[in-house]
Structure 1
Amino acid sequence: MNIAIFGGSFDPPHTGHELIVKKALEILDIDKLLIVTTYLSPFKENFCAPADLRQSWLAKIFEGIDKVEIFSYECDQKRQVPTIETVLHIKSLYPDAKLFLIVGSDSFASLPKWNRYDELCTLVEFVVAPRGEFTPPKDLKILPINVNISSSKLRSFLDHRFIPKAIENEVIAFYTRNPMDNRIERIVTALSDKKAEDIQVFDMTGKDYFVNTVVIATTMGERHGLSLLDHLKTELKGAGESFLHVDADENWTVIDMGDVLIHLMTPQYRQKYNLELFLKEREDEMKKVRGVE
């Protein structure tokens, strides 16, 4: 069995990625092509679109295409995963397979910096997709294309020509949203993933409050709040969030992210302190100050 591995952040996927997959299927003698979405690239500090959304976009683009599989291993780990780890995992699933690793020419130039590069070279045969000027070494497999678009450039100008039609509307809608909306969605999703209950978001912008947004969630018990805190750190620090101050105990954890404040409270503490009422009163008070009915 021959398997090609094509990894990347895909933030967002673009027509260059489509072309790479198409050419790989055409010229490589492979039985399967695994598209591996990184949770967070080892060479990047953050991502824009969350991993599950990027995977959803890829699934829509390549739906029904024979031999292509969206491979979730790295996303499932919820952390940065070096390529060598993914390759070894695939090797454990398909011990007799020959593995091809598809990389862009810019990545190929930096391969010696990759984790356990020498070992990686013994496990895969590299296949390079050129971008811009590139003089390949002798005997290197090349995809006969030239991809002159990158995800970072596409995020900057959202040119319709480079966005796959299957996801065009979703991509444009996501990257033109208010950045705060994206941040709050990540927070709410992370809390929901770990079973936080009754999650409420309060927009305090223009209400003379010291943060712009307050998020309140109920924990299922004392230890659950601390578990939620750990999960938020894992999920949000990769997206570039800063935890300026954390006041944590088993009943009430307060997380200060500068312009966002998160309260994680046991049911008893949430009922006792009734923060929702306080925030609503703050809103009503500011309406009176401004003469707004």
Structure 2
Amino acid sequence: MILLLAALAGLCVAAMTTPVGVSGAVLLLPVQIGVLGLHGPAVSATNLLYNVVSTPFGLGRLARSAHGAGIGPLVAAGAAVPCAVAGAAVRVTWLADPALFRGLLAVLMLGMGARLLVTRARPRPGPGTGSPGHRHGGGLPLAAAAGTCALLGAAVGIGGGSLLAPLLIVAGGWAASRAAVAGLTTTLVTSVVGLCAYAVFDRIGFGAAPAAPDWGVGVAMGAGGALGALVGAALGRRLGERRLRLLLGVLVTAAGAATLAGLATG
């Protein structure tokens, strides 16, 4: 029954979040803690396992539909690798305290959601007028942003894309489709590297336990998320950029509110 619930949760959240560059793991944290009963750093690791299974399908569809993504995803992926290991180390040490972990997650989600909901969409640049970030991937600023998001994403278990995508949209003026590709690329790389780091830390006894993922729950959520990602990527093409922004803002704010509520009642 738990695995079935995990699969359904993965399917539903991925269908809603894939079009805006979020893997769905951002909304699965409250499900794991409040419904499935997982605890400790294993919650973050299990979310990363969900990303590893579910993200490639949605990323492949988005990459084919988003024209002119450039080298941005590659820059973001390269920066994410070392930062994902650092994020996992932070989670099993400094963020091992449940209250501190949930508090940080709530702050990140509510702050990001609020910015998306109150900031107006920027006009799409015309041909030949795109910013350097659109043409060349953003270089050092993009690498710094992706690395920071990967560190935080590995630590909380959301992969980093749910932090990077809205940052690229709001601060960088990226189109939602391009930000989604860069965001999901960062999520996938962060999740693979971070998952390996959590498994190694658990094996050698570094930091708080349990740090290894719940493999059954993670794979079940990922299998549901893989199907949901395909559905979401197809549906996303029917929506305008403004709707994508608002959808992302609402979903992230809801995740932050759920996490905060769990902290207050826990």
Bigger share in helix: 2
**Same fold by TM-score, threshold 0.5 exceeded?**
no
Q: Which has the larger Rg?
A: 1
Q: Larger % of strand: which?
A: 1
Q: Which TM-score bucket, shorter chain as reference?
A: under 0.3
Normalised by the length of structure 2, the TM-score is 0.27
